[in-house]
Amino acid sequence: MKRRPAETTAAGGGLLAVVAALLGLPVEVVAAIAAVGGALPGVVSWLVDHGGVRGVLRAVWAGRI
């Protein structure tokens, strides 16, 4: 996870969508899971680039974000 957090997150989101479909959840729920899973890699990359959660919180506190 430390070397490729975005790819790991994307794989987890895809796996979650497949499991949800196999469990017979409504199509809307599976689509929502897939949409969130598609956005998560970008969010994870942004967090890592900005120093993780602590780095983002420090930037918010300092008024830079």
What tens digit of pLDDT does each residue of 1-26 get? 557 777 777 788 888 889 999 999 99
Whole-model pTM over 0.75: no
Span 21-64, pLDDT tens digits: 999 999 999 999 888 888 888 888 888 888 888 988 998 999 98
Residue 52's domain comprises 5-62
Q: If we measure between CA atoms, which residue out of 38, 39, 64, 40 comes closest to residue 51?
A: 64
Domain count, the chain: 1
- Contact between 40 and 10 under an 8 Å Cβ cutoff? The reply is yes
